[in-house]
């Protein structure tokens, strides 16, 4: 994630620590961890995890429902990766958000890229319910790359 521009704060130089897009997350209540989650996806990781966390913690959704819901992300920030492109006002959204929502995004001035259904995000999570002790897991069906299983 370093730049070859010596004037950049992120310039490649000895001893410098590069910025990373890795963002594993542990959730806790009363100082006790109860869930861990993460996703691959470069600059989109924090955006997809935010969607999940809002649905879970604010909306009260189940972990699987929060993962399964339609996803989107912005492209309005400079990419961490070469060629470091960006699209001011850019939004990439799954088509299953529906015509009304996609139309509203366009009306608000977003430069919209409509992605296929079930194409954005790869979040998976595991945890332990602090009250019951039950273990849980939820996996992203997108890309057929993950599944949750337990014993």
Q: Is the pLDDT of residue 149 over 80?
A: no
| Percent of the chain clearing pLDDT 90 (strictly above) | 64
- For 106-139, the pLDDT digits (tens) are 999 999 999 999 999 999 999 998 889 999 999 9
Both structure tokens of 57: 């913690």
Q: Is the peptide bond before 135 cis (omega within 30 degrees of 0)?
A: no
pLDDT at 58: 97
pTM beyond cutoff 0.75: yes
Coil, strand, or helix at residue 101? helix
pLDDT at 151: 67
pLDDT at 11: 87
- Decide the pairing of beta strands 90-94 and 72-74: antiparallel
Q: How confident is the model at residue 10 (pLDDT cuts 50, 70, 90)?
A: confident
Q: Is the pLDDT of residue 93 over 80?
A: yes
Alpha-carbon distance of 79 to 148, in angstroms, equals: 31
**What secondary structure letter does DSSP report for 43?**
G
| 112 bridge partner residues | 91
Both structure tokens of 115: 């992605």
């Amino acid at each position: 994630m370093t730049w070859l521009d010596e004037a950049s704060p992120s310039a490649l130089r000895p001893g410098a620590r590069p910025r990373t897009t890795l963002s594993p997350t542990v959730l806790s209540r009363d100082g006790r961890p109860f869930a861990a989650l993460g996703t691959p996806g470069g600059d989109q990781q924090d955006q997809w995890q935010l969607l999940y966390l809002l649905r879970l913690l604010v909306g009260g959704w189940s972990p699987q429902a929060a993962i399964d819901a339609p996803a989107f992300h912005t492209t309005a920030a400079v990419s961490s990766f070469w060629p470091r492109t960006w699209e001011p006002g850019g939004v990439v959204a799954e088509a299953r958000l529906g015509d009304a929502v996609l139309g509203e995004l366009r009306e608000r001035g977003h430069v919209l890229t409509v992605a296929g259904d079930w194409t954005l995000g790869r979040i998976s999570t595991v945890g332990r319910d602090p009250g019951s002790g039950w273990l849980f897991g939820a996996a992203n069906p997108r890309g057929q790359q993950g599944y949750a299983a337990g014993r």
